[in-house]
Amino acid sequence: MDTPVQHEDTYVERLVDMDAVMQQVAEHKGCGTEGGNSKPSCGSSAGQGDMPTEIWEKVKNHPCYSEEAHHHYARMHVAVAPACNIQCNYCNRKYDCANESRPGVVSERLTPEQAAKKVVAVASTIPQMTVLGIAGPGDPLANPEKTFKTFELISKMAPDIKLCLSTNGLTLPDHVDTIARYNVDHVTITINMVDPEIGAQIYPWVFYKHKRYTGVEAARILTDRQLQGLEMLTERGILCKINSVMIPGINDQHLVEVNRAVKSRGAFLHNIMPLISAPEHGTVFGLNGQRGPSAQELKALQDSCEGEMNMMRHCRQCRADAVGLLGEDRSAEFTTDKIMEMEVDYDLDTRKAYQAQVELERQAKVAAKQEELKELAGSASDIKLLVAVATKGSGLINEHFGHAKEFQVYELSTDGAKFVGHRRVDLYCQGGFGDEDSLQTVIRAINDCHAVFVAKIGGCPKSDLQEAGIDPVDRYAHEYIEKSAIAWFKDYLEKVRSGEIEHTVRGDADIRQGALISVA
């Protein structure tokens, strides 16, 4: 099993001079100075920066609320909430709630008791699992008894695990006191509009106080309840993340207004996700041909909102029974049958010791990046470009090109390396041979990138990538991502300066819609 602290070839070496590392860690101001950028960006930050300590304590190990943490810490979901009280045009209720899940995914439903056993089993096996979320398969607050019973059991059995909740917000104001009582520190509300006319194009109906409402009236009730719930939560100091689904031609421009509305009500983080819409999902949008955004459209909207508040760009639209690091899915290891047979020993000391080691690894990574950044500091250039990275986690370039199910995307500039997204792809390596069709989908998915960093790559894909103008880089295998990307960028700028290469602007890239969506 691969874990964040078992990269035996490099880990011990990195810890040799921990005094120096700890000194640099003490000095680093990641959140406010990510990549030398002075704008706070806590959803994609490396450290505390200007954040109050009590908020930092809540986000530092939460893989969704801290981009940096998501390389190291895992979350899990338990699918205890089957019912829903609204209808979204991008959702088919045969599948998981599409407000947090990729469409077309079906999760294994659990009772609260089964869920609690599962959480303890996973926490004992994956000590870096720090957060338990309830995100479906329907709306958790349309199933309040099951949701809160699950939280109650888990807070007794695994008290160190943070509790998290995701909701469409319709009944949120009714449950805020209970949420606070159960110490649920993090709540996600999906808010796609603050204008009922736009809402009527997204929501055909809501079921509220024993009555079904449709059209603009339904959307007005929903937006009023969502914003009221948000205000009530932030008044109580509960951290709120807003998910918004970007639907081109319907709410894409409007999401800037949504961003302002949620920021003014105290939301901590805004997660704008692409609509994923394919006819095979059987949703209204899928069947009527509503398209999702391209990679450039999504990034442009996220960039335009970033001046207003922290943006999340590392969401993987997880399934309602997801387990593991974001981007990996270990739910198949923890099916109900397997859990019920497991002998579980919940050892808090072992979990703490393991997480302390993860912290050292994480801090060494930050220190290495800061060191490389110092060398970049003298460079003057307005070149900004994207690179893709194949990684299995821990902030390392440690995945083979052919085994990558996704690539992480970083924007490089003289400010440093900034995580700006990820692209899911079809596996190129199909049991020992490369699949040419898959390679073309990979190239389309990272077509806006100048280079792709991998632990290893074969001759054929290498030459196809070069032909497409993407530099396959394997010389930083098993090194830290940001440090390596900054070092590569320094070389790139030098080559441009010397006239060895000419800087070109890349085109757009695809966000995968249909293929393989139900697999992970």
Site for ligand SF4 contains 161 (CB under 6 A):
no
Total residues contacting ligand CLF by CB under 6 A comes to 18
Count of H-run helices and E-run strands, the chain: 17, 18
Structure-block tokens of residue 226: 């969502």
Stretch of 91-99, 399-407, 424-432, 508-516 contacting ligand SF4, by CB under 6 A:
91-99
Among 122, 135, 258, 477, the residue binding ligand CLF under the rule CB under 6 A is 135
Structure-block tokens of residue 340: 């019920």
At 206, the amino acid letter reads V
Among 21, 31, 97, 397, the residue binding ligand SF4 under the rule CB under 6 A is 97
Site for ligand CLF contains 271 (CB under 6 A):
yes
CB of 390 closer than 8 Å to CB of 445: no
CB of 72 closer than 8 Å to CB of 4: yes
Distance CA 518, CA 148 (A): 28
Site for ligand CLF contains 363 (CB under 6 A):
no
98 binds, among ligand SF4, ligand CLF, none (CB under 5 to 8 A by kind): ligand SF4
Distance CA 290, CA 252 (A): 13
Among 79, 80, 86, 164, the residue binding ligand SF4 under the rule CB under 6 A is 86
At 208, the amino acid letter reads Y
Cβ-proximal residues to 97 (8 Å cutoff; 6+ apart), any chain: 84, 91, 135, 136, 137, 138, 139, 166, 168, 320
End-to-end CA distance of the chain: 19
CB of 482 closer than 8 Å to CB of 417: yes
CB of 235 closer than 8 Å to CB of 200: no
138 binds, among ligand CLF, ligand SF4, none (CB under 5 to 8 A by kind): ligand SF4
Give the nearest residue (CB) to ligand CLF.
133
Among 21, 88, 154, 301, the residue binding ligand SF4 under the rule CB under 6 A is 88
Question: Is the CB of 135 or the CB of 520 nearer to ligand SF4?
Answer: 135
Place of tokens 């290495």: 368
Among 4, 43, 133, 138, the residue binding ligand CLF under the rule CB under 6 A is 133
Site for ligand CLF contains 326 (CB under 6 A):
yes
Among 46, 154, 318, 486, the residue binding ligand CLF under the rule CB under 6 A is 318
Question: Is the CB of 99 or the CB of 150 nearer to ligand SF4?
Answer: 99
CB of 123 closer than 8 Å to CB of 158: yes
Residues forming beta bridges with residue 134, ordered by sequence position: 165
Structure-block tokens of residue 441: 């989908």
Site for ligand CLF contains 100 (CB under 6 A):
yes
SS3 149: helix
Site for ligand SF4 contains 269 (CB under 6 A):
no
Site for ligand SF4 contains 202 (CB under 6 A):
no
Among 79, 91, 115, 164, the residue binding ligand CLF under the rule CB under 6 A is 164
Q: What is the DSSP letter of 378?
A: T
CB of 376 closer than 8 Å to CB of 414: yes
Least Å distance, CB 229 to ligand SF4, is 14
Residues that bind ligand SF4 (CB under 6 A): 84, 86-88, 91, 97-99, 138-139, 168
Residues that bind ligand CLF (CB under 6 A): 64, 75, 77, 100, 131, 133, 135, 164, 166, 186, 188, 241, 271, 315-318, 326
